[in-house]
Amino acid sequence: MTNALAKPTLCVDDVACFFDVSPSWFDRTVMRKPRRTLKAVDGLSFLIERGTTFSIVGESGCGKSTLARLVVGLYQPTRGALSFASGSGRDGFVRTQMIFQDPFASLNPRWRVGAIIAEPIKQMGLRRSGAETQARVRQLLETVGLSGQDSNRYPHEFSGGQRQRISIARALAAEPEFLVCDEPTSALDVSVQAQILNLLKDLQRELSLTYLFISHNLAAVRHVSDRVAVMYLGRIVEEAATDEIFERPQHPYTRFLLDTVPNLDRPNRDRVPATVDLPSPIDPPPGCAYNPRCPLVTDICRAAAPEPRPVGSTLVRCHHAIA
Protein backbone atom coordinates (compact mmCIF):
# COMPACT_ATOMS: atom_id res chain seq x y z
CA MET A 1 0.00 0.00 0.00
CA THR A 2 1.40 3.43 -0.92
CA ASN A 3 1.40 6.38 1.45
CA ALA A 4 -1.30 8.09 -0.58
CA LEU A 5 -3.55 5.05 -0.13
CA ALA A 6 -2.84 4.93 3.60
CA LYS A 7 -4.27 8.44 4.06
CA PRO A 8 -7.58 8.21 5.96
CA THR A 9 -10.63 8.89 3.83
CA LEU A 10 -13.18 9.15 6.61
CA CYS A 11 -12.63 10.31 10.17
CA VAL A 12 -15.52 9.71 12.57
CA ASP A 13 -14.96 11.60 15.83
CA ASP A 14 -17.20 10.98 18.86
CA VAL A 15 -20.35 10.82 16.70
CA ALA A 16 -23.73 10.45 18.38
CA CYS A 17 -27.23 10.32 16.89
CA PHE A 18 -30.20 10.60 19.23
CA PHE A 19 -33.89 10.44 18.31
CA ASP A 20 -36.65 12.15 20.23
CA VAL A 21 -39.17 9.37 20.90
CA SER A 22 -41.23 11.31 23.43
CA PRO A 23 -44.94 10.55 23.90
CA SER A 24 -47.50 12.83 22.25
CA TRP A 25 -48.19 16.33 23.55
CA PHE A 26 -51.40 15.04 25.22
CA ASP A 27 -49.60 12.22 27.04
CA ARG A 28 -46.84 14.55 28.18
CA THR A 29 -49.00 17.38 29.44
CA VAL A 30 -52.14 15.58 30.67
CA MET A 31 -50.80 12.12 31.53
CA ARG A 32 -47.49 13.61 32.74
CA LYS A 33 -45.38 11.14 30.81
CA PRO A 34 -41.73 12.25 30.47
CA ARG A 35 -39.85 13.05 27.27
CA ARG A 36 -37.68 10.19 26.02
CA THR A 37 -34.49 10.03 23.98
CA LEU A 38 -33.31 7.02 21.99
CA LYS A 39 -29.52 6.88 21.67
CA ALA A 40 -29.16 4.98 18.38
CA VAL A 41 -25.46 5.80 18.10
CA ASP A 42 -23.44 7.18 21.01
CA GLY A 43 -19.79 8.22 20.81
CA LEU A 44 -18.44 6.39 17.74
CA SER A 45 -14.84 7.16 16.75
CA PHE A 46 -12.85 5.45 13.97
CA LEU A 47 -10.83 6.08 10.81
CA ILE A 48 -11.32 4.42 7.43
CA GLU A 49 -8.23 4.38 5.24
CA ARG A 50 -8.47 4.99 1.53
CA GLY A 51 -8.89 1.85 -0.58
CA THR A 52 -9.80 -0.38 2.38
CA THR A 53 -12.97 -2.01 3.70
CA PHE A 54 -14.11 -1.19 7.22
CA SER A 55 -16.95 -3.38 8.45
CA ILE A 56 -19.51 -2.89 11.17
CA VAL A 57 -21.12 -5.96 12.72
CA GLY A 58 -23.70 -6.33 15.44
CA GLU A 59 -27.23 -7.48 16.14
CA SER A 60 -30.33 -5.90 14.69
CA GLY A 61 -31.01 -2.58 16.43
CA CYS A 62 -27.41 -1.85 17.50
CA GLY A 63 -27.23 1.26 15.27
CA LYS A 64 -25.57 0.02 12.06
CA SER A 65 -28.04 1.59 9.63
CA THR A 66 -28.09 4.84 11.59
CA LEU A 67 -24.32 5.03 11.16
CA ALA A 68 -24.68 4.32 7.42
CA ARG A 69 -27.19 7.15 7.10
CA LEU A 70 -24.91 9.52 9.05
CA VAL A 71 -22.02 8.74 6.69
CA VAL A 72 -24.02 9.48 3.53
CA GLY A 73 -25.54 12.61 5.07
CA LEU A 74 -29.15 11.38 5.40
CA TYR A 75 -28.93 12.06 9.17
CA GLN A 76 -27.07 14.85 10.94
CA PRO A 77 -25.09 13.88 14.07
CA THR A 78 -26.46 15.08 17.41
CA ARG A 79 -22.85 15.36 18.58
CA GLY A 80 -19.39 14.89 17.08
CA ALA A 81 -18.19 15.14 13.48
CA LEU A 82 -17.70 13.05 10.36
CA SER A 83 -15.06 14.41 8.01
CA PHE A 84 -13.85 13.14 4.66
CA ALA A 85 -10.35 13.84 3.38
CA SER A 86 -10.49 15.91 0.19
CA GLY A 87 -11.47 13.83 -2.82
CA SER A 88 -9.87 13.55 -6.23
CA GLY A 89 -12.94 14.91 -8.07
CA ARG A 90 -13.10 18.36 -9.64
CA ASP A 91 -15.07 19.73 -6.70
CA GLY A 92 -12.59 18.35 -4.14
CA PHE A 93 -15.29 16.36 -2.29
CA VAL A 94 -15.29 12.61 -1.72
CA ARG A 95 -18.34 11.33 -3.60
CA THR A 96 -20.27 8.85 -1.50
CA GLN A 97 -22.92 6.39 -2.64
CA MET A 98 -24.95 3.76 -0.83
CA ILE A 99 -25.91 0.21 -1.80
CA PHE A 100 -29.03 -1.00 0.00
CA GLN A 101 -30.10 -4.39 1.28
CA ASP A 102 -33.12 -4.91 -0.95
CA PRO A 103 -32.27 -4.36 -4.62
CA PHE A 104 -35.92 -4.58 -5.63
CA ALA A 105 -37.21 -1.89 -3.28
CA SER A 106 -34.35 0.45 -4.19
CA LEU A 107 -34.92 0.31 -8.00
CA ASN A 108 -37.85 2.16 -9.58
CA PRO A 109 -39.96 -0.66 -11.15
CA ARG A 110 -41.41 1.66 -13.83
CA TRP A 111 -38.05 2.71 -15.22
CA ARG A 112 -35.93 0.75 -17.66
CA VAL A 113 -32.54 -0.22 -16.28
CA GLY A 114 -30.79 2.17 -18.69
CA ALA A 115 -32.80 5.12 -17.33
CA ILE A 116 -32.10 4.10 -13.72
CA ILE A 117 -28.34 4.03 -14.29
CA ALA A 118 -28.36 7.17 -16.48
CA GLU A 119 -30.15 9.24 -13.81
CA PRO A 120 -27.09 10.07 -11.63
CA ILE A 121 -25.00 10.72 -14.76
CA LYS A 122 -27.55 13.29 -15.95
CA GLN A 123 -28.15 14.79 -12.51
CA MET A 124 -24.45 15.36 -11.96
CA GLY A 125 -23.69 16.38 -15.56
CA LEU A 126 -20.99 13.72 -15.89
CA ARG A 127 -21.43 13.25 -19.68
CA ARG A 128 -22.01 15.91 -22.33
CA SER A 129 -24.47 14.18 -24.69
CA GLY A 130 -27.18 11.54 -24.64
CA ALA A 131 -25.01 9.24 -26.78
CA GLU A 132 -22.11 9.52 -24.31
CA THR A 133 -24.47 8.80 -21.43
CA GLN A 134 -25.83 5.69 -23.19
CA ALA A 135 -22.30 4.47 -23.90
CA ARG A 136 -21.41 4.98 -20.24
CA VAL A 137 -24.53 3.04 -19.13
CA ARG A 138 -23.56 0.10 -21.36
CA GLN A 139 -20.01 0.22 -20.00
CA LEU A 140 -21.28 0.21 -16.39
CA LEU A 141 -23.58 -2.76 -17.07
CA GLU A 142 -20.61 -4.69 -18.46
CA THR A 143 -18.46 -3.64 -15.48
CA VAL A 144 -20.92 -5.32 -13.10
CA GLY A 145 -21.18 -8.49 -15.19
CA LEU A 146 -24.37 -7.73 -17.15
CA SER A 147 -24.82 -7.02 -20.86
CA GLY A 148 -25.20 -3.61 -22.50
CA GLN A 149 -28.47 -4.94 -24.04
CA ASP A 150 -29.96 -5.20 -20.53
CA SER A 151 -30.46 -1.43 -20.45
CA ASN A 152 -33.83 -1.85 -22.25
CA ARG A 153 -35.28 -4.23 -19.67
CA TYR A 154 -37.16 -3.53 -16.42
CA PRO A 155 -35.93 -4.47 -12.91
CA HIS A 156 -38.57 -7.21 -12.46
CA GLU A 157 -37.08 -9.10 -15.42
CA PHE A 158 -33.90 -9.78 -13.41
CA SER A 159 -33.00 -12.15 -10.56
CA GLY A 160 -32.15 -10.81 -7.08
CA GLY A 161 -28.40 -11.05 -7.71
CA GLN A 162 -28.72 -9.30 -11.10
CA ARG A 163 -30.81 -6.54 -9.51
CA GLN A 164 -28.09 -5.99 -6.92
CA ARG A 165 -25.60 -5.71 -9.83
CA ILE A 166 -27.87 -3.01 -11.31
CA SER A 167 -27.87 -1.18 -7.94
CA ILE A 168 -24.08 -1.33 -7.92
CA ALA A 169 -23.93 0.00 -11.51
CA ARG A 170 -26.23 2.87 -10.51
CA ALA A 171 -24.00 3.67 -7.52
CA LEU A 172 -20.87 3.59 -9.74
CA ALA A 173 -22.56 5.89 -12.27
CA ALA A 174 -22.02 8.77 -9.82
CA GLU A 175 -18.26 8.02 -9.92
CA PRO A 176 -17.96 7.62 -6.14
CA GLU A 177 -14.76 7.10 -4.17
CA PHE A 178 -16.59 5.85 -1.08
CA LEU A 179 -19.37 3.24 -0.98
CA VAL A 180 -21.56 2.47 2.01
CA CYS A 181 -22.80 -1.10 1.59
CA ASP A 182 -25.70 -1.66 4.02
CA GLU A 183 -26.34 -5.42 4.19
CA PRO A 184 -25.75 -5.71 0.40
CA THR A 185 -26.13 -9.50 0.28
CA SER A 186 -28.58 -10.35 3.04
CA ALA A 187 -31.64 -10.42 0.72
CA LEU A 188 -29.88 -12.80 -1.70
CA ASP A 189 -29.58 -16.59 -1.99
CA VAL A 190 -26.43 -17.96 -0.39
CA SER A 191 -25.06 -19.09 -3.77
CA VAL A 192 -25.38 -15.54 -5.15
CA GLN A 193 -23.96 -13.79 -2.08
CA ALA A 194 -20.37 -14.84 -2.82
CA GLN A 195 -20.64 -13.59 -6.42
CA ILE A 196 -21.74 -10.13 -5.26
CA LEU A 197 -19.03 -10.00 -2.58
CA ASN A 198 -16.39 -10.96 -5.16
CA LEU A 199 -17.74 -8.32 -7.54
CA LEU A 200 -17.44 -5.68 -4.80
CA LYS A 201 -13.85 -6.78 -4.09
CA ASP A 202 -12.91 -6.68 -7.79
CA LEU A 203 -14.44 -3.21 -8.18
CA GLN A 204 -12.55 -2.00 -5.12
CA ARG A 205 -9.25 -3.11 -6.67
CA GLU A 206 -10.01 -1.72 -10.13
CA LEU A 207 -11.49 1.62 -9.03
CA SER A 208 -9.59 2.21 -5.73
CA LEU A 209 -12.88 2.37 -3.84
CA THR A 210 -13.21 2.66 -0.07
CA TYR A 211 -16.02 0.71 1.60
CA LEU A 212 -18.00 0.97 4.80
CA PHE A 213 -19.53 -2.50 4.87
CA ILE A 214 -22.43 -3.17 7.21
CA SER A 215 -23.57 -6.71 7.86
CA HIS A 216 -24.62 -9.24 10.43
CA ASN A 217 -23.17 -11.99 8.20
CA LEU A 218 -19.79 -12.68 9.82
CA ALA A 219 -18.58 -14.96 7.00
CA ALA A 220 -19.18 -12.13 4.50
CA VAL A 221 -17.44 -9.65 6.80
CA ARG A 222 -14.39 -11.89 7.13
CA HIS A 223 -14.23 -12.30 3.35
CA VAL A 224 -14.24 -8.60 2.46
CA SER A 225 -12.85 -6.59 5.40
CA ASP A 226 -9.53 -5.05 6.35
CA ARG A 227 -10.80 -3.84 9.72
CA VAL A 228 -13.89 -4.73 11.73
CA ALA A 229 -15.78 -2.84 14.44
CA VAL A 230 -18.27 -4.71 16.62
CA MET A 231 -21.22 -2.57 17.73
CA TYR A 232 -23.42 -3.14 20.74
CA LEU A 233 -26.28 -0.81 21.66
CA GLY A 234 -24.96 2.21 19.76
CA ARG A 235 -21.30 1.83 20.76
CA ILE A 236 -18.22 0.14 19.31
CA VAL A 237 -17.15 -2.49 21.86
CA GLU A 238 -14.21 -3.86 19.86
CA GLU A 239 -12.26 -2.71 16.80
CA ALA A 240 -9.31 -4.45 15.17
CA ALA A 241 -7.83 -5.85 11.97
CA THR A 242 -10.07 -8.61 10.58
CA ASP A 243 -7.76 -11.52 11.55
CA GLU A 244 -7.46 -10.21 15.11
CA ILE A 245 -11.24 -10.05 15.52
CA PHE A 246 -11.76 -13.57 14.20
CA GLU A 247 -8.65 -15.26 15.68
CA ARG A 248 -8.29 -13.40 19.00
CA PRO A 249 -11.63 -11.79 19.96
CA GLN A 250 -11.25 -9.79 23.18
CA HIS A 251 -14.77 -8.68 24.08
CA PRO A 252 -17.25 -11.27 25.46
CA TYR A 253 -19.85 -9.95 23.00
CA THR A 254 -17.53 -10.55 20.02
CA ARG A 255 -16.93 -14.09 21.31
CA PHE A 256 -20.68 -14.57 21.61
CA LEU A 257 -21.26 -13.38 18.02
CA LEU A 258 -18.53 -15.68 16.69
CA ASP A 259 -19.99 -18.54 18.65
CA THR A 260 -23.35 -18.12 16.91
CA VAL A 261 -21.76 -18.87 13.50
CA PRO A 262 -22.40 -22.51 12.54
CA ASN A 263 -19.10 -24.39 12.39
CA LEU A 264 -19.08 -27.53 10.23
CA ASP A 265 -15.80 -28.67 11.85
CA ARG A 266 -17.36 -28.76 15.31
CA PRO A 267 -21.10 -29.37 14.79
CA ASN A 268 -21.83 -30.65 18.31
CA ARG A 269 -19.93 -28.14 20.40
CA ASP A 270 -21.78 -26.36 23.17
CA ARG A 271 -23.05 -22.98 22.17
CA VAL A 272 -23.38 -20.10 24.63
CA PRO A 273 -27.12 -19.47 24.67
CA ALA A 274 -28.37 -15.86 24.48
CA THR A 275 -30.39 -15.55 27.67
CA VAL A 276 -31.28 -11.86 27.37
CA ASP A 277 -32.34 -9.89 24.29
CA LEU A 278 -30.70 -6.64 23.19
CA PRO A 279 -31.79 -4.04 25.82
CA SER A 280 -33.67 -0.94 24.69
CA PRO A 281 -31.49 2.01 23.58
CA ILE A 282 -34.11 4.26 25.28
CA ASP A 283 -33.32 2.79 28.66
CA PRO A 284 -29.88 1.14 28.51
CA PRO A 285 -28.54 -0.75 31.55
CA PRO A 286 -26.24 1.27 33.84
CA GLY A 287 -22.49 0.67 33.56
CA CYS A 288 -21.40 -1.54 30.68
CA ALA A 289 -24.46 -1.98 28.42
CA TYR A 290 -23.52 -5.63 27.86
CA ASN A 291 -23.51 -6.48 31.58
CA PRO A 292 -26.97 -8.22 31.72
CA ARG A 293 -25.78 -10.73 29.12
CA CYS A 294 -22.11 -10.99 30.00
CA PRO A 295 -20.68 -14.23 31.49
CA LEU A 296 -17.80 -12.22 33.04
CA VAL A 297 -19.98 -9.60 34.79
CA THR A 298 -18.76 -8.20 38.15
CA ASP A 299 -19.73 -5.19 40.27
CA ILE A 300 -17.60 -2.72 38.31
CA CYS A 301 -19.46 -3.68 35.10
CA ARG A 302 -22.78 -2.62 36.69
CA ALA A 303 -21.28 0.58 38.13
CA ALA A 304 -19.16 2.15 35.37
CA ALA A 305 -19.14 2.15 31.57
CA PRO A 306 -15.72 1.01 30.32
CA GLU A 307 -13.72 3.36 28.07
CA PRO A 308 -12.05 1.90 24.96
CA ARG A 309 -8.50 0.71 25.67
CA PRO A 310 -5.80 -1.02 23.65
CA VAL A 311 -5.15 -4.73 24.08
CA GLY A 312 -2.33 -5.45 21.64
CA SER A 313 -3.49 -3.85 18.40
CA THR A 314 -7.19 -4.20 19.36
CA LEU A 315 -9.33 -1.46 20.92
CA VAL A 316 -11.80 -2.95 23.37
CA ARG A 317 -14.42 -1.59 25.78
CA CYS A 318 -14.36 -4.13 28.61
CA HIS A 319 -13.27 -3.88 32.25
CA HIS A 320 -11.98 -7.44 32.08
CA ALA A 321 -9.89 -7.16 28.91
CA ILE A 322 -6.26 -7.87 29.85
CA ALA A 323 -3.59 -5.78 28.12
Ligand X SMILES: Nc1ncnc2c1ncn2[C@@H]1O[C@H](COP(=O)(O)OP(=O)(O)OP(=O)(O)O)[C@@H](O)[C@H]1O
Of 78 and 143, the one with the shorter C-beta distance to ligand X is 78
Of 145 and 292, the one with the shorter C-beta distance to ligand X is 292
Of 13 and 59, the one with the shorter C-beta distance to ligand X is 59
**Nearest-approach distance from CB 69 to ligand X, in angstroms:** 8
**Nearest-approach distance from CB 278 to ligand X, in angstroms:** 8
CA proximity to 198, closest of 64, 1, 53: 53
CA proximity to 189, closest of 218, 214, 163, 222: 163
Q: Which CA distances in Å does 78 have to 4, 5, 177, 232?
A: 32, 31, 26, 19
**Nearest-approach distance from CB 71 to ligand X, in angstroms:** 12
Of 64 and 165, the one with the shorter C-beta distance to ligand X is 64
Give the sign of the dihedral formed by CA 52, CA 205, CA 139, CA 86. positive
**Nearest-approach distance from CB 88 to ligand X, in angstroms:** 30
**Nearest-approach distance from CB 85 to ligand X, in angstroms:** 25
How does DSSP assign 73-125, residue by residue? Answer: TSS--SEEEEEEPP-SSTTSPPPEEEE-S-TTTTS-TTS-HHHHHHHHHHHTT
Contact residues: ligand X, CB under 6 A: 19, 21, 38, 40, 58, 60-66, 281
Alpha carbon distance 238, 254 (integer Å): 7
One-letter amino acid of 301: C
Phi, psi dihedrals of residue 231, rounded to the nearest 5°: -105, 140
Of 69 and 170, the one with the shorter C-beta distance to ligand X is 69
